[in-house]
Structure formats: structure tokens, C-alpha cells
Structure 1
Amino acid sequence: MGLRRTLRADVGNVISVVYVVGTELSVNLNRSAPPSSKFFSVKCSSTVQCSIQPPSQETSLLLPQTLQRNQLLLVTMSQASQSENESKLSVRYYGEKKEVLGNAILHLTAVEISLDVDADRDGKVERNNPNKNSWKWGKDGYGAILLVNCDTEQSYWKKPDLEKDSITKVSDLKDMSPMVLRTRGPAKLPEGYKLTMHISKSDAESIRVFRSGTSGKSTNTISGSFLYSFFVQSHPLVLGGNVLSEEVPYVGGDSEWNYYVEGIRFLDRDFDGSVRIHLSLLEPVTRGIPDTPIFTDTVLFRVAPWIMTPNTLKPVEVFVCRVPDNNKLLQQLEVIVARGGYKLNICSQFETRGDRWIQDEMEFGYIDSPHHGFPVVLDSPRDGKLADFPLEELLGPDFGYVTRTPTEKKSNSLDSFGNLEVSPPVTVNGKNYPFGRIIIGVAFPTAETGRNMTQVVQDFLWAQKVQDPVALFSDWLYVGHVDEFMSFVPAPDRKGFRLLLASPDAAYKLFKGLQNDGHGGARIFEDVKDAEPESVDEILGDEDLQLANNYVQNCIDWNRDVLKRELGLENADIIDLPILFKLVMSKKSRKKKALAYYPDMVNMIVLGKDLAIPKPFGPKVNGVCALETEVRSLLEGLGLTCTFIDDFTTYHKKFGELHCGSNVRREPFKEKWWNMEM
């Protein structure tokens, strides 16, 4: 039995009572009895079930029973009433000689009330699911899911729909979670009784609730036909903002009211994603005295997290900015993208205002629920000349937008999203991360100050839970982004991927091998206009360069150990790419920071099995770049195709590479986040 409600009986008066099917009424017989009462009996309609606690020795409650201290009469009804006060219950009290001392009479009206959601996550709003007010992770879990309504249904409305408190198009309903109020009972409730829906003030900051303008039979399916069948011109706001409580209709008979719940806030440091909506039946007392709740039904929603997509997922579309000096690069990239059958979006100079670093401006992800899902772009606090692009060019129907704005400081280079990556799925010490783990770069954990990703973005990323972040040390780099020394590529074996790390040691080993084989005079940057050629012998003879790269290798090895530990990797899961760095003085920090010495091949674009890699212009052996040859030997055995693209002038000389100048939207995971074991 569900909720037990204590009920007062009054000798000499008739009390009208509304009973909610599935609950239990409890009458303290001794408390209600007249003075000197010794016995009692109970008579009730056939629709009412009664029992005594503790049990009586008498077989029938119609016979006088000995009245015991703290004896309870428990009352239930199994179905809704056809009319008001149609069921009766009377308690008769007797004295010492079984003389009648008085009667307490109850007139009962039974109603069925349930506030329902898709608690079993099958796309249907089932009736009175026992788990509708709780949450459990996993494939055998339960709990309703709520999307943040962060897309826009209007082409002219360049703000997420969550910023308006009305529904103007039927298509907006699919971004919301359905909720159904079901009632069954007489044509009307006894006088003064009413239903009210209510939320807490804190939850009002996270959700809004709209009601369909009419009631009717629900199909119980979350589909286009369901939404269109019940869409009318008026969908009033019921709860949200300053509206914490609203009386809701009771129309009698077997009825349903359809509601739509809208998420307006993502998970964050001060919001775990759980919200509750309550439905209460209120009982009148008398004029001037507040009504009292006699029954409350509660449903719980959990807001869907924002999920990043790793390089191992299939690309959907590639974004790159057109700038005056990258026409040839775009042509080469167009061939690779077309080969994979993906869409290439070349953003015009008008759209980008000459800013080429589209990776730094935004990160693609998505949100998902059993009834709907869509991509969501996370806009970085970087706010360069591309600042308006994610909102103005990407936000639209079924394409959401979210951002976090720093409050504690001005943004720095580590706030750009070349400093935000995500691993493929991994298992670490028995814990499964089916969506991978987010990776960010921060300052080294010492007392010395350094650059860090702004805290509001870090708080947002950590709050999503399903991709538990890993912090790496990236402040040693001039730009400071993790994509300057690491990337992931798909692989047919082991964990399904390889981690690529930049490695000065691998570069020196390669160059020493060239020198030993008599190629010490081979030069990097041959035929490059904007660089001075330098021989292998000169590079190996530069002691300052060697010391600088020893430092860089130490920094990368520190991160290597973190990644092995936090991603459950072994050495065989990691491939070292031969890349050298140089130290240059940072004007802002007045400290030396690292830049790639030649184009940074780890900063690549991963498009399925096609890799677009910065052309390193390394020393040539028999007319072929030795660096390219080495990278091909490391990656093509995994079934990957390496295409080297000249980005020397367009990106490398401006402290970036191909990955920095591109962005890829990918398909979402087939795995559902709510099935994850936490």
C-alpha cells in the first residue's frame, strides 16, 4: 500500500472525504470515541474495504468490538467513484452495556490521480510508474529525462528557445519532455477540494512547464502524431520563473491533461540536474484558514548532460574558415572530405571576419533523451572575431547553443577550445567510460601562478558527469593547448584507438639515424619561402635546442603518465610522433614557452580513416620527406591514410596548425548516456 493518511472522525457529524485510490486512510478509533466508550462496530459500503490494527478476534466488524488503546481503522477503496459521496462508512460507539453512545459517519469520494512521465525511458508516458520519483543509472535503471531547450525554432530568433517563456511553434514541443496528469472519478470533486501543481523556487530556475490547451485521451507515445494531435494555439505557461504554484483542472470522468516540461539550465557546479514537479490534492478547512494537502504525487526529471564526440566517431561535417592565404589548402582539404562523403562548410570571410581559428572558438557536442536529441555547440569564452559565429550561424532548429562566460578574470589562451579534447571510450581499473573522458589543459600544479582554463568552463565540464574530465599540464606551451601535443586516431585492434603524442625524443632518434646513414646534410624547410633551411647536422649540433626539447619531453612525459593512468593505457596504445619544439619568450608571462619547430603533425584533422596532417617539410632522403615517411610507417599499418597538407604560411607561422584551423561535427554515440553505470 502507498501513502497512509491519518483521518479524523467526528461523532455526531458527517464528514465528506476525498480518497485517492492507492493510498490508505487511518482512523484512530480511540481518539475519535466519546468518553466512556468500550466497544465499537463498523459498517461500510461494498466499495470500501476496512480492517482493524491490531486485529480483532471478532470475525465481522458489524459486531461490537472491544475498543483498545491506539486501535486503528484502516480504509481503502479499489476504484474511483461514479459520483460524489457515493460510498459510506460509519463507526458506532457503545458504552459498558453496549448502549449506543454515538456514530461517526464518513461520506467517501474515491478518485484516481497520477502525474506521469516516461520513467522507464521507452518513449512512452506510462501510468503511475512506481519509479517516477527516483533515478537509477544503468540499463536496468529508471528515471525521466529532460532536454535543455537550447535550440531555436525561429530563423530570425538568434537566441535559444529557453530565453523565451512561450511556445509559438509545434516543433518546439519535441524539445520538451511530455508529462501527463491523469484523473478518474466523479464529474466534480466535493466543494472546496482542488488540485495544484507546484515546484520549488530553486527548480523554477531550471525548468518551465506548459499545459496543452485541451484534455483528452493520450496515445501515450512520444511521436510526431502524438505531438500534433494535442497541439493547440494556446499552450499556457503553468510553472516556472516566479510562478511556483498553479491550480490545475479537474474535469471528471476518465481524463488526461498533457503537459510539456522544458529544461532551461544545463548541469553546473550548483545544479546536479535533478528537478521535481509535485501535484497535490488540497482539502478545504473553513473560510480564512489555508487549505491542507492530503495527497501529493511527485515526478523527477534529470537534465541530459552535454556530451562531446571523440575522433573515433564518424564525421558529419567539417568547418574551416576561408582567409586570403588558404585557397590551396582548402582545395586539398576538399578532396579529403569528399573522399569520405562528408559535408564541407567553408565559412566565408564575411562570416568569420578574417579569424581562421575555428577550433578555438567552439566545441561540438550533443544532448539526448529517449524521445529526441540534437547537436549542441559549446561556445568558448575566447571571443575573437569569430565570437558571433556559433550563435549567428549554427543556432537553429534542432541545433543548440550553450556558453559559459568568465566572471573572475579576462579569458586567456587556455580558454580556447584547442585546449578541450575528449578521449574515445575507455575502461580504467574496472570502471567503464563509454563516452570517453574530457581532456583539458591547465597550469602545472605548483604554487607558482600560471594560465588556467576559466573556472566557469571547468565547472560546466565537470558537472556533466558522464565524461569525467582529466586535467593535463599545457601551460608550458606558448599557445597552451592540449591539441599541440596529443591526438587520438581510430585503430582496428586493442582499445579501438591510438593516442598520438608529440615526441622530441622520437625526432632526435630519427635525425640521428639520418646522420648515421650519411644524410646529415639533408635540410628541413627546403623550398619553403618563409623559413631558413637547416640541416640535420645543424639541428643535432644545437645544444640550446637540445636542452629546450629535453624540457619539452619532460612536460609531455608528465602528461603521458597522467593519460596512461587516467585512461587505462599501456605503452602499446601510444604512438610517438617525431616533433621538435623551440622555446620563445612570452610577452605576457615574461617566461619561455614552447612552439613547434616545424609544422606540428600531431595537430591533425581525423576524418574516419583519413588523416589530414600538417606537412612538416622535413629532411629529404631520395627526394622523400623523412618525417612523412616515419609517420606513414607508424600510422598506415592501422589502416589509416595520411595526406600531408601545406599549412606553413597559413597556420604554422601564426602559431597553429590544421586542427586549430578546422572543426568537425560528428555523429553522436549509439550508446545511451542513461545506461551508463555510475
Structure 2
Amino acid sequence: MSTSHARRAALAITVIGAVLAPVSPAFAVEPPPQVDLRADVNRDGLVDVRGVTDTDGEDSWAPGRGAVFLPNIDDDSKRCAVKGPGGKPLPDAKLAACNDASDAKVNGADDAADLARVRSVPMAKAPATATGALRVVNGGKYTRVFLKRTTGWTLVTAKTRLSAAELRSGVELGVESTDVIRDSKVWDGRAVIRLTVTSGGKSTSDDVTLRVAPLLTHHHLQNAQQLTVTRVPGKDDYARRQQAFVKGLAAEVKSAGISKPLVTFEKYGDIWAQDFVEPGYVSMAGPGGRQHVMRVMLRSAQADREAGRELFEKLRGNGVGVVQVSGVRDSEEWTLNSMGNLETIPPYNNGGRFFPAGRIIMGERKDSGSKPAQAMRTLLKSQGFQDPLLLDTSWLDVGHVDEFVQFLPADTPRGWKIAIADPDAGLRLLREAKAAGHGKTRMFSVPGSKDLPAPKETIDQALASKWLVADNTMAAKRIAANLAVLMRETGVTGAEVVRVPALYTRGSGEQRGDSMPRLTRMGAGQTPDAVREYGQQKELARHREGGAAAGGVMTSAYVPGAVNGIVLGRNRYLAPRQWGPVIGGKDIFTAAVTAAYTGAGMKVSYLDDWYTYHVGMGEVHCGTNTLRDASAAWWKP
């Protein structure tokens, strides 16, 4: 028998007797190598390819565990244009369209830091014929993947192939999102990345799931790091007063230990810096477990409010992005879309609901059914962490939650308290002063001038007015109803409520005889004529809806609203100067407000905003904004 025949016979015997004789290894088909893709599932800032700390839960995502990646919407190299051909202003849509994720490149070292890392476990035994392919199988429209090679970062496409050498050593990927979550029904923020390895005609793959970091708003347990304010240019009386406000604010900020200088908006003259933007942030675990934070300035849902453009023109840059919503309906009330109508309850756990990053509150007009823009509410709710809670602001002319409630850091098990405006306490101060024989004392101690006459009413006249007592009785009931909602939702007890004396009144400062600033808070960004027309339309609408007949009075602060101030630190608070009745050399409202905040552990200082903001239906808080520390992990209590 020839050697070849002998081999064929032996092979036949092997095949026929397969049960009795094992196949020789020389003829076995080698299985494809095991593929293992890893991400930072445990959020410690590292991708573990040697141990198993990042394996459990890699195919799912939960609030407390799962890989996170960032919407790369800042502009690290300041490449985004803010003007078009010939120096013409860019349309809002084009301003918003440019960021680091819009060019499919990694723009230097800073931008690489904005990429979440994904790694493959080295496949030491990958055969020379093995190749790898990468694909985003879910969320691909919003997700971009880069591959790190010796030549730098390269965009992963359908044509990208990993060599056997790369598979053996393991590859590093960088992942970014091109946007925040806008509507969870359209995209819930998840991206599934798949590595498929092919060898010997067979393929095997592994997936890993990431979710884009939620866009979160700040709460008052986060330390203030920098303040923003509009500075009105010019030398007229209002400009000088407003510039003095900015100077006074800078001094108070420095006194509170905040070292960064004020960010001043100067281009559009919209004095309500609280209202055209809400500072927020996104973050993920970075090197050493520290949070890698990107600030995100959330522009108000007011397309005709030009001041929001300065967020792109001045603030967008390295580590700072801007988001604006679209699709706001004309029927959605303009003033409710100001960001003074968005505040954040600090973290809490109550009734089985846990909000480790705090919870948003916004005002709605329940009397008329008007709510903040649906597009904005959808975006906020879709983040999945700060489910907005709506409070009733029907009784407020401007309709913002910052006009009657705020949250104070406190040395309590919860860590914070609710500060609430108390009109009953305001009325009590006046009645006690009258009873003590001070009814002839002027209601306000604010000095006037030739062009700006000070209010002249006395305490007796204020209490005898047609509306003041009735309006504040109504306001007290409305505030109590809102407080009940907050206490039910958060579990806060009466001992955790700080009641701050306040007074409200129907009508504007103009109707009270005060000289109005250039812009009212209700009509900010519009011409004075448009502001007046807007106010008249609101008044007509109120009567058409039968609001006045049904007791649907709208009010604004009579005495400067003390809760409408700034939490500068865990024990520092800046309030609007009260300018209340002075009895025995003491402003009785200032004394009462100071006592309320001091009792809550806060040191109070005051800043005059009467002619700059108060008579325009706003206060110190309305004219400023605060960038806060976001270095704590948002998924932890």
C-alpha cells in the first residue's frame, strides 16, 4: 500500500470510527478568538481590561452603574464662528450648530479628554488572519467613535478594520455624543458599540452599552464659583445706577470668598441675567475618579431674546457648551420661559423617589392652563434625573418661582431648608408698627431724586389701601398651597421651613408712581413700547378669562423680595436691600429678614436694587446668575 493510500485509509477509519477515535488536532477547526469589549461601567475613571470590575452590567445601564459619555458640545479651540460673511450676525440655528462634535475630528488634547474611553481586552492568540470591525448598533445617529492609533485619533467608519496586531495588543476607542438628549422618545441617550472579530470564516462579537451624561441644573448645595451679570453701558442716570449695582455685586462676591471675577454681559442690554440662561453641566468620571465636567449653558426658550446669543458669542469655549431648544409654540407664554422660572431643589430621597442631583421646579399658571414651553419641559424630563415639578405661579404677574421660594444649605440631616416668602409676616410687621404709634412713618425709606421721586405712602396709607391687605392674604394662601406640594414631595417638615417676611402688590412700579427701568422683567429684550403693549395685552387677557372677577389677581413684590437673592456660600446670603419703614433708627423689614436668615445659619448682606431691578418687577437674583461647583458625582447622594 502506498503512503498516500495508507493515509486515506487511516482517515476513512477515523471518520467511520469517529465515536471511538478522536480527531487529530491537525485536522480540528480552530474556534474564533474570544472578543471582550470594556467600558468604565463602575465609573472609577478607568477601563479595567485585566480584572472584572467593569464586566457586570456592561450590557445595561442604571442611574448608579453603567458607562457614561459626554455630549461634546463645547468649543475647545474657539473655532466656531459667531459672524457670517461681511460681519453679519449668524442666525441662531447656525450659532448653535457649531461645536467640537460637529466636525468629526478630535481637536487636540483638550477635546480628547472629552471622549469616554472604551477598550478591547488584548487577544493574545488572535491568528494572523483575524480582523476586527466596529459599529454603533444603537444610537449611531448621535454617537461618534474614534480609534486611537500611532498616528493619532481617527474616525471609525464602516470601512475601518482592526489588524491582528491591534487585536492582540488591544485597542483604545474614544466615544462622544453629538448632542444632549432632547426627547427620550426619540433617543434615550444610549449607544451600543459592537466589536466583531472575523477569523477562519467565522465571526464573534461583543457589545458594550454607554449612555450620554444627563444635562443637569445646579442646586444651592453646590458652592458658587463665579457670578454673571449684565453691565449696561452709557452715562445716563439708569446706566450709572446699574453700573454701581455691578460694582457692589463684585464687592459682595469677593467678600464671600469667590475669587473669580464677574462675567459681564454687555452687548444686548438685557439686564435680567437670570432669565435668558440657566447654567448647567454634564460630567463623567475622569482620571483618578475625579469628575470631568463640561459646563452647559441652557438658553431660555425665547427665540426673540437676543441676549441668549451672547452665550455663544462670549461664553462658549473650552469646557463650556450652549444648548438651545427649538419648536417653541407662539401660544406658550413668553415670561414662563424665562429661567428665573427654573430653580432646583437640592438632593433628596422621599417616598421611594431618589433625586441625587436635585429636582427642578418650574412655575405654571394653573388658573389659565399656561405652562413653560413643552420643548423645554421635554428636554429636562428626558434627562431622567431631575423630573420637573410644576408649582402654581398664577398669582404672580411675572410668574417665576424665584419670586417666592428658594433653598438654603443647612446643618441638618437633610442638608438644606426651604426659604419661603411670608406675606402674613410682612403684614404683621406693618400692623405692629401701626399699633405702636408709627402709622405716619413712611412705608419706604429709599431716597429719591429730582428725576426719581421716592414713594410717599405711609404705613397707615399702605394698610388702608384698596388692595394691599387683600392681595397679600391671597398671596399667603397661594404660597401655602405651593409649600404644601414641596413638603409632600420632599418630606420637609415645618421645622425645615424658613419663613421670610414679604409683601406683594398688584400692578407695576409705574402704576405705583415709580420710574421704571429700561426693561421690565416681563418684557425683557423688547422695546419700552412693546413692553407696555405686552402688559396691556396681559391685562386684557386677564379680564377676558374672567381672572379678575374670579379673584385671579396677579402681583409682584411690594417690598423688595428678600427670597429673590443669591446663595453665595453655605453660610452667606445676598439679599436686595429692603428700604422698609425706619423706626427707632432701624429698618423693620431689614431686621426681620436678617433674623430669619440668621436663624437658618446664614450671614446676610444687602445690595440696593430698587431703581435698577425692583421697580422692573425683579430683584438681585433676577439680575444675576451663578456658576456652581459640579465636581461631585451626580449619581451619588
| Partner Cα distance (2:18, 2:497) in 1 | 84
Shift of 1:276: 0.3
SS for the counterpart of 1:588 is helix
1:199 alignment partner AA: V
1:131 aligns with 2:36: no
Cα displacement string for residues 157-198 of structure 1 (whole angstroms, at most 9, x for unaligned residues): 2532122211231221110011223443567455xx643222
Aligned to 1:288: none
Shift of 1:467: 2.3
1:536 aligns with 2:459: yes
SS for the counterpart of 1:387 is helix
SS for the counterpart of 1:318 is strand
1:116 aligns with 2:52: no
Contact persistence 1:353–1:385 (CA under 8 A): yes
Contact persistence 2:301–2:326 (CA under 8 A): yes
Q: 1:187 to 1:296 in 2, by over 3 A?
A: closer
Shift of 1:346: 4.2
Contact persistence 2:417–2:498 (CA under 8 A): yes
SS for the counterpart of 2:29 is strand
Which structure shows the higher strand fraction? 1
Aligned to 2:364: 442
1:273 alignment partner AA: G
Choose the corresponding residue for 1:277, options 168, 187, 193.
193
Aligned to 2:91: none
Cα displacement string for residues 557-613 of structure 1 (whole angstroms, at most 9, x for unaligned residues): 221111111121112211222222122394233225211122111111111122221
Aligned to 2:536: 587
Cα displacement string for residues 124-168 of structure 1 (whole angstroms, at most 9, x for unaligned residues): 222274336334547xx5421111112111123253212221123
Aligned to 2:341: 419
| Partner Cα distance (2:263, 2:68) in 1 | 35
Which structure shows the higher helix fraction? 2
Q: Can you give the 5+ residue segments of structure 2 that lack an aligned partner in the other structure?
A: 1-7, 9-13, 82-97, 233-238, 287-291, 509-534, 543-552
Contact persistence 1:132–1:298 (CA under 8 A): no
Computing the radius of gyration from Cα coordinates, the structure with the larger value is 1
Aligned to 1:331: 247
Aligned to 1:564: 487
Shift of 1:622: 0.6
| Partner Cα distance (1:385, 1:524) in 2 | 38
1:571 alignment partner AA: G
Shift of 1:649: 0.6
Contact persistence 2:41–2:66 (CA under 8 A): yes
Contact persistence 1:205–1:265 (CA under 8 A): no
Shift of 1:297: 0.5
Contact persistence 2:100–2:107 (CA under 8 A): no
Alignment of 1:76-475 (within 5 A): 87-88=25-26, 106-108=28-30, 111-127=33-49, 129-131=54-56, 133-135=58-60, 137=62, 142-157=65-80, 159-185=98-124, 188-190=127-129, 194-200=131-137, 203-214=139-150, 232=151, 234-239=152-157, 246-251=160-165, 254-269=168-183, 270=185, 271-282=187-198, 294-323=203-232, 324=239, 325-343=241-259, 345-348=261-264, 351-371=266-286, 372-383=292-303, 384-409=305-330, 412-429=334-351, 431-444=353-366, 448-450=368-370, 452-475=371-394
Q: TM-score, normalised by structure 1?
A: 0.75
Bigger shift: residues 618-627 or 466-475 = 466-475
Q: TM-score, normalised by structure 2?
A: 0.80
| Partner Cα distance (1:109, 1:490) in 2 | 61
Shift of 1:348: 5.0
| Partner Cα distance (2:164, 2:537) in 1 | 66
Contact persistence 1:564–1:570 (CA under 8 A): yes
Contact persistence 2:421–2:501 (CA under 8 A): yes
2:558 alignment partner AA: Y
Q: 1:211 to 1:494 in 2, by over 3 A?
A: closer
| Partner Cα distance (1:607, 1:185) in 2 | 56
Q: 1:187 to 1:424 in 2, by over 3 A?
A: closer
Contact persistence 1:414–1:441 (CA under 8 A): yes
| Partner Cα distance (1:358, 1:413) in 2 | 14
Shift of 1:626: 0.6
| Partner Cα distance (1:332, 1:509) in 2 | 31
Aligned to 1:41: 20
| Partner Cα distance (2:324, 2:109) in 1 | 26
Alignment of 1:525-674 (within 5 A): 525-529=444-448, 530-584=453-507, 586-589=535-538, 590=540, 591=542, 592-608=553-569, 609-668=571-630, 670=632, 672-674=633-635
Cα displacement string for residues 466-511 of structure 1 (whole angstroms, at most 9, x for unaligned residues): 2232111124321111101111222233533221212221111221
Shift of 1:665: 0.8
SS for the counterpart of 1:414 is helix
Shift of 1:637: 2.6
Cα displacement string for residues 175-233 of structure 1 (whole angstroms, at most 9, x for unaligned residues): 0011223443567455xx64322223x5112210011233xxxxxxxxxxxxxxxxx3x
| Partner Cα distance (2:634, 2:221) in 1 | 17
Q: 1:41 to 1:473 in 2, by over 3 A?
A: farther
Cα displacement string for residues 221-270 of structure 1 (whole angstroms, at most 9, x for unaligned residues): xxxxxxxxxxx3x422114xxx5x74433337832222111122223322
2:296 alignment partner AA: V
Shift of 1:110: 5.1
Q: CA RMSD in A?
A: 2.7
Cα displacement string for residues 402-441 of structure 1 (whole angstroms, at most 9, x for unaligned residues): 2222343376111110011011222323544332211111
Shift of 1:320: 1.4
Contact persistence 2:229–2:262 (CA under 8 A): yes
| Partner Cα distance (1:255, 1:365) in 2 | 39
Q: 1:359 to 1:238 in 2, by over 3 A?
A: same
Count residues with an aligned counterpart.
Answer: 547
SS for the counterpart of 1:317 is strand
Contact persistence 1:118–1:124 (CA under 8 A): yes
1:476 aligns with 2:395: yes
Contact persistence 1:132–1:144 (CA under 8 A): no
| Partner Cα distance (1:210, 1:42) in 2 | 50
Shift of 1:549: 2.1
| Partner Cα distance (2:195, 2:325) in 1 | 34
Aligned to 1:56: none
| Partner Cα distance (1:296, 1:41) in 2 | 35
Contact persistence 1:320–1:345 (CA under 8 A): no
2:247 alignment partner AA: Q
| Partner Cα distance (2:167, 2:355) in 1 | 49
Cα displacement string for residues 292-328 of structure 1 (whole angstroms, at most 9, x for unaligned residues): x742200111211122221232111111121213132
